[in-house]
Amino acid sequence: EVQLVESGGGLVQPGGSLRLSCAASGFTFSSYSMNWVRQAPGKGLEWVSYIGSSGNTIYYADSVKGRFTISRDSAKNSLYLQMNSLRAEDTAVYYCARDQREWLGTYYFDYWGQGTLVTVSS
Amino acid sequence: EIVLTQSPGTLSLSPGERATLSCRASQSVSSYLAWYQQKPGQPPRLLIYGASSRATGIPDRFTGSGSGTDFTLTISRLEPEDFAVYYCQQYGSSLTFGGGTKVEIK
């Protein structure tokens, strides 16, 4: 069974940093592209970042470019999101999500974690 | 950035009725469009990709259609578990989501 479990969320002050993790199991993690998608409280979905299966292809939404860094560790079956210079508008539930197909990035997502809440507030 | 506009914002229907949800793109995304269903407190669930292909395990009452800039998700006969928020997502140029359509019980 495919499982994605996020962790690392919490309360952080504006300008602070946080590192999110996503532990993957039930599939060959190294074969799939992965993503972070966020959802502000009561709002819609916003794609944040993509990383290819090998880690060599990375994309970011303009809203987080230069502040967030996505990475992965296939030995640990884990996906990460390093978030720096956090702003109030980054407050959201952050989901990790898997691309549907192995190897080729599909850019739509067939498995999602339950999410971790990040609150940026003083 | 490609903007996706979903309409209506809210659809009030009864179980057994047909639901028609619209998603319009600000420029062509070819058939690079997906639909998701989200229930309160849960992550989204992939329903449709490639504008019209059903994801694994999705009942055939869910049908996606369209190409270019105009897309439709049709639920032929609403079941009680179908009342939720639906999002479209384009992946033709970067990735963006629509604002969602809430399907509520009338």
Of the residues B45, B91, B95, the best mutation for testing chain A's interface (the one with the most A CB atoms within 10 Å of its CB) is: B95
CB contact under 8 Å between B46 and A100, yes or no, is yes
Contact B105, B14 (CB under 8 A): yes
Neighbours of A13 (CB within 10 A): 10
pLDDT at A116 over 90: yes
CA distance B23 to B26: 10
pLDDT of residue A3: 98
Q: What length does chain B have?
A: 106
Residue B74: half-sphere exposure toward Cβ, Cα within 13 Å: 9
CB contact under 8 Å between B49 and A44, yes or no, is no
CA distance A39 to A48: 10
pLDDT at B4 over 90: yes
For chain A, say whether B46 makes contact (Cβ under 8 Å): yes
Beta bridge partners of B70: B24, B67
The per-residue pLDDT for range B59-106, each reduced to its tens digit, is 999 999 999 999 999 999 999 999 999 999 999 999 999 999 999 999
Residue B60: half-sphere exposure toward Cβ, Cα within 13 Å: 0
The per-residue pLDDT for range A20-62, each reduced to its tens digit, is 999 999 999 999 999 999 999 999 999 999 999 999 999 999 9
Contact A91, A63 (CB under 8 A): no
